[in-house]
Amino acid sequence: MIKFTINGYEVEGEKGQNVLQVALDNGFDIPHLCYHEALEPYGACRLCLVEISNGKRTRLTTSCNYPVMEGISVQTDTEKVTRARSMILELLLARCSDSSAIIELAEKYGVTETRFELDHDDCILCGLCERVCREVVGVEAISFLGRGSARKVGPPLEINPKTCIGCGACVYVCPTDCIKMEESEKDRTIVRWGRTLPMKTCKVCGNTYAPWFQLEYFKQITEGIPKDFWDKCPDCR
Amino acid sequence: MKKILDPRELEKFRAQILEKRDPKRPCIAVTSGTSAKAYGSEKLVEAFRTALKAHRLSRKIDLRVTGGQGFDEREPLVIIHPRNILYQRVDPKDAEEIVTETIQKDKIIERLLFVDPKTGEKILNRDDIPFYKGQMPIIFGDNGKIDPTNIEDYLAIGGYFALVKVLTEKTPEGVIDIIKRSGLRGRGGGGFPTGMKWESCRNAPGEKRYVVCNADEGDPGAYMDRGLLEGNPHRVLEGMMIGAFAIGSDEGYLYVRYEYPLANEHIQIAIKQLRQYGLLGENILGTGFTFDLKVSRGGGAFVCGESTALMASIEGNAGEPRAKHIHTVESGLWDKPTNLNNVETWANVPLIIHKGVDWYTGIGTENSKGTKIFSLVGKVNNTGLVEVPMGMTIKEIVDDIGGGIPENGTLKAVQTGGPSGGCIPASLIDISVDFDKLTEVGSMMGSGGMIVMDDKTCMVDIARYFLNFLKDESCGKCTTCRDGIRRMYEVVDAITRGKGKEGDIELLEELSWVISEASLCALGSTAPNPVLSTIRYFRDEYEAHIRDKKCPAGVCKALITYSIDKKKCTACGKCKKVCPSDAITGKKKVPHKIDSKKCIRCGACIAECKFDAVRIR
């Protein structure tokens, strides 16, 4: 185990873990929008900034992608951290001025106004959707497009992504709730990517429960599960 | 072609090359790098070939096509050896005359000589031209001596001698020790000690190691690396091979930006020649050293000059940086220890090995050794690539080598370090150029861009220019860089449009602090420098824009008006003719007038007026 301190308290982490995860596990409140424990750290939103002293050097750095190291000392609420965090929240608030998730988070840290022009965007480009699709689902139906201020997330060529299985993982992880899913008896639509897929009917109860594509894909990638497992809805399994 | 199997054979081959060559034999060297090609140098080369053939001189006179020799302002250059006569702005039509007059009759063609703009004197010898006189071209100077597509030329000037020395006489640790003692620091921007980097990479755990050459030169106005790769690619490759031996690497990558087709072509030729001679591949020169190289071409993103983004790009991923809590020397390309250096850094290496640490450390300042190549551009008479010893003052570079400011202008500032650097005001022009001094005054060495600005330059507009560049070139991954730079641009842009408010300067400073402290990579963390340095030295200009709604330099269109000085106007009517928006009215013999509502402030009238009658307020 690797021992280090957070705000003076001794904590322990395992090799390969990052500082943010250990901090969260130990009940320290560090805001974060682009981090998810199931995904590789990305370091995009910059909200999880902390001050880390490693030897003689102290610096402001993101905790999500900082590997735990023996003897480091982490400070989560210094004046520098607060100052930087406030500006980052102000930038995010200006970008996503209508997002209740962002408004609430900013408010929690004392940021209620922004000095910049409002963008009324709904996406903070945290990349969770892109990473969950690639790292967990493994289909890479969406990715980042463009760069700089023109950056966005979308399917290749911004047309109906043929590899999307409509699983909704991206919908689930989105922190600003900007990826919407609509479902009917007949089909499911991931609105943001323009993908609509027909639903499968449970062979036991006759209810629809998930897109065909998703279940076929799951059948392919899972092993040791009875063949008809995916033909039944979760209630009838 | 026969492979060269051991060091002795290489020396024999070198001796054979030198034997064939007579240094006194006349040679016409024509520059044909990218800048010269833009002036039609390929046609000039053809014209010389034709003329030499017509006069049956092809076998008696050498014709050498070289890379650029730095003096891009006067391209294409023709240098006649052995007298070292420099002809500039040579047209294909001049080739015949040069052959019949200068080559056959030893007569000078006066009109092709360089005229010193300060003294009006015509200068014959290349080395007497002030642009070259003040330089110390230990690296870039070889460009003039070789045809970059001919490995024999490089061997003739001692090429791959350093490699042989290393492979036969040194241990990898010994080489690292030499580079450490030489004080060589990275020429790509950071100025990190090269030897230390090599050592960390060599000591990193793992079997496989990579060496990478960063040739993704993207700073606006900077093209030192292009000049080196086009003019002397073997020098860079030799440096990489020595580095690979020291680090324990058998595979290297050259990452060349897509916009450098000629550099790419010359590298490819050089690599092919090395493979043919057996100088690249397995068991090089029978010494047991194995190394091979691949060229990877960038897709045109500035951020790929950042080491981790560059490596992601080589791997085939989007060029985005990652956090460097674990350095690339430990985990870089495909998570293997990777040593990345810039083109110019690699080019220094053979020289240090060849000439020794004592010689090298004799050049430069205490903490910045050797020379640095700068691309001297902007409002300066002699634009081009200049190589000077570290420690030379900016004044010497701009006034002596650069020939001062054109049109009797006054120097206002010098911007160094590209978009990550800053503007140094004329009052600090006596500072010496080295890594530490430039950082101390709020700029940086960067890769070596040096943009000279005169009194007609608006510093707020300059800050706006760099922010505009960076907001588009940020990869967009992290909030502070992507949104922060864009917001800074919006604030500065509003100031230049007369929409600035009290508190804007403070807001810019606040944003700058967060962007520099909290961004993921160096593109973001250095992005505020152009703004911070202009605020530091030219705060009054920002204030004039914000408070008085005036642009003191007369650049920001929303804040200036054009008018005609009645006393100076002769009513010639020329301005009226060129005005694209019909804003100028006037009859014969009556001074003209500009309707400021119609005027689009394009400056066409100023350029046309011979009587200096158009005023900007």
Nearest residue, CB atoms, B323 vs list A65, A94, A148: A65
Dihedral sign for Cα B397, B257, A154, B323, please: negative
B490 to chain A, any CB pair closer than 8 A? The answer is yes
Alpha-carbon distance B565 to A156, whole Å? 59
Give yes or no for a contact between A107 and A136, defined as CB atoms under 8 angstroms apart: no
Element of type H or E holding B97: helix B94-97
Query: Chain B residue with minimal CA distance to A116?
Result: B487
Alpha-carbon distance B117 to B407, whole Å? 10
Q: How far is B587 from chain A (nearest CA, A)?
A: 48
**Per-residue model confidence as pLDDT tens digits over A200-237:** 999 999 999 999 999 999 999 998 888 789 999 999 98
> DSSP assignment, residue B110?
G
* Contacts A120 to B, Cβ<8 Å: none
* Contacts A55 to B, Cβ<8 Å: none
Q: Inter-chain contact A92–B483, Cβ cutoff 8 Å?
A: yes
Residues 6+ apart with CB under 8 A from B358: none
Nearest residue, CB atoms, A43 vs list B303, B471, B478: B478
Q: Inter-chain contact A94–B479, Cβ cutoff 8 Å?
A: no
Angle at A80 between CA A75 and CA A84, to 5 degrees: 110
- What is residue B1's predicted lDDT score, i.e. its pLDDT? 66
B496 to chain A, any CB pair closer than 8 A? The answer is no
Angle at B392 between CA B388 and CA B396, to 5 degrees: 95
Angle at A94 between CA A91 and CA A99, to 5 degrees: 110
* Contacts B517 to A, Cβ<8 Å: 60, 80, 84
> What percentage of residues in chain A have a pLDDT greater than 90?
95
Q: How far is B486 from chain A (nearest CA, A)?
A: 7
Q: How far is B501 from chain A (nearest CA, A)?
A: 12
Element of type H or E holding B415: strand B411-416
- What is residue B447's predicted lDDT score, i.e. its pLDDT? 86
* Contacts A42 to B, Cβ<8 Å: 477
Alpha-carbon distance B532 to B43, whole Å? 47
Q: Inter-chain contact A148–B475, Cβ cutoff 8 Å?
A: yes
* Paired tokens of A61: 């750095």
Q: Inter-chain contact A88–B480, Cβ cutoff 8 Å?
A: yes
Nearest residue, CB atoms, A67 vs list B326, B474, B514: B326
Q: How far is B485 from chain A (nearest CA, A)?
A: 9
Tokens 């017509």 correspond to B54
Phi/psi for B60 (5° steps) reads: -95, -30
* Contacts A47 to B, Cβ<8 Å: 479
* Contacts A89 to B, Cβ<8 Å: none
Which residue, B51, B43, B121, B122, is CA-closest to B76? Answer: B43
Produce one character per residue of A6-15: b if its CB has 16 or more CB atoms within 10 Å, e if not. Answer: beeeebebee
Q: Inter-chain contact B474–A149, Cβ cutoff 8 Å?
A: yes
Give yes or no for a contact between B530 and B459, defined as CB atoms under 8 angstroms apart: no
Alpha-carbon distance B462 to B531, whole Å? 9
Walk along chain B (617 residues) in steps of 10 and give the mean pLDDT of each run. Answer: 89 95 92 96 97 94 96 95 95 97 95 91 95 95 95 96 97 98 93 97 97 95 95 98 98 96 97 96 96 94 95 95 92 97 98 97 96 96 96 96 92 94 95 93 90 96 96 96 97 97 97 97 94 96 97 94 92 92 90 92 92 90
Q: How far is B510 from chain A (nearest CA, A)?
A: 8
**Per-residue model confidence as pLDDT tens digits over A95-141:** 999 999 999 999 999 999 999 999 999 999 999 999 999 999 999 99
Nearest residue, CB atoms, B517 vs list A43, A45, A84: A84
Q: Inter-chain contact B474–A148, Cβ cutoff 8 Å?
A: yes
Phi/psi for B248 (5° steps) reads: 90, 45
Alpha-carbon distance B296 to B400, whole Å? 39
Nearest residue, CB atoms, B479 vs list A46, A65, A66: A46
* Best of A149, A151, A152, A153 to mutate (most B CBs within 10 Å, chain B): A149
Give yes or no for a contact between A11 and A4, defined as CB atoms under 8 angstroms apart: yes
Which residues from A are below 8 Å from B when comparing CB atoms?
Answer: 42-47, 49, 60-62, 65-67, 80, 83-84, 87-88, 91-92, 94-95, 115-117, 124-125, 127, 143-144, 146-151
Nearest residue, CB atoms, A65 vs list B301, B325, B474: B325
- What is residue A180's predicted lDDT score, i.e. its pLDDT? 97
* Contacts B510 to A, Cβ<8 Å: 87
* Contacts B474 to A, Cβ<8 Å: 147-149
Element of type H or E holding B255: strand B251-256
Q: How far is B473 from chain A (nearest CA, A)?
A: 6
Mean pLDDT of chain A: 95
* Contacts A92 to B, Cβ<8 Å: 479, 483
Give yes or no for a contact between A31 and A104, defined as CB atoms under 8 angstroms apart: no
* Contacts A49 to B, Cβ<8 Å: 518
The edge-to-edge listing of strands for the beta sheet with B251-256 is B281-284, B289-297, B251-256, B210-215, B338-342
* Paired tokens of A209: 């429960």
Nearest residue, CB atoms, B507 vs list A94, A115, A150: A115
Give yes or no for a contact between B528 and B518, defined as CB atoms under 8 angstroms apart: no
Tokens 């922004």 correspond to A114
Q: How far is A36 from chain B (nearest CA, A)?
A: 16
Alpha-carbon distance B54 to B62, whole Å? 15
Task: Report helix, strand or coil for A209.
Answer: strand
In Å, how far are A213, B105, B490, B544, B547 from B552, measured between CA atoms? 65, 56, 21, 7, 12
Give yes or no for a contact between B144 and B29, defined as CB atoms under 8 angstroms apart: yes
Alpha-carbon distance B195 to B552, whole Å? 48
CA B492 to chain centre: 28
Q: How far is A219 from chain B (nearest CA, A)?
A: 29
Query: Chain B residue with minimal CA distance to A147?
Result: B475
Q: How far is B481 from chain A (nearest CA, A)?
A: 8
Q: How far is B475 from chain A (nearest CA, A)?
A: 5
* Best of A33, A46, A48 to mutate (most B CBs within 10 Å, chain B): A46
* Contacts B480 to A, Cβ<8 Å: 46, 87-88, 91
Nearest residue, CB atoms, B520 vs list A43, A60, A117: A43
Which residue, A84, A1, A79, is CA-closest to A49? Answer: A84
- What is residue B118's predicted lDDT score, i.e. its pLDDT? 82
* Paired tokens of B278: 């057996």
Nearest residue, CB atoms, B477 vs list A44, A49, A91: A44
Q: How far is A187 from chain B (nearest CA, A)?
A: 34
